[in-house]
């Protein structure tokens, strides 16, 4: 499977860079901690895989939620990167 991402489209985090949240579906084991805890940025599909719902990440709250979701993933299937 491939990774999915939400790309920023010109929005900034205050330092001139955008934010992208990535899901590595091949690493995901479907625990649901990410979308269960951070529904403002993630949901699940019919198979229980995470789906990014905020594209782009626009607010500080969304960016904070994405970073927190990365921290709770036991499989390290989520990453946040500057673009």
pTM of the model: 0.78
Domain ranges, ordered by start, for the chain: 3-82
CATH architecture of structural domain 3-82: 2-Layer Sandwich (3.30)
Tens-place pLDDT, residues 16-30: 467 989 999 999 999
- Taking CA atoms, 2 is separated from 40, 43, 49, 67, in Å, by 22, 17, 12, 21
Model confidence at 64: pLDDT above 70: yes
13: confidence class by pLDDT, cuts 50, 70, 90: very low
56: confidence class by pLDDT, cuts 50, 70, 90: confident
């Amino acid at each position: 499977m491939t990774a999915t991402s939400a790309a920023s489209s010109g929005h900034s985090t205050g330092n001139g860079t955008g934010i992208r949240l990535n899901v590595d579906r091949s690493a995901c084991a479907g625990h649901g901690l990410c979308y269960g805890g951070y529904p403002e940025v993630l949901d699940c599909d019919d198979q229980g895989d995470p789906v990014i719902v905020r594209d782009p990440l626009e607010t500080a709250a969304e960016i904070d939620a994405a970073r927190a979701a990365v921290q709770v993933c036991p499989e390290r299937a989520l990453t946040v990167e500057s673009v």
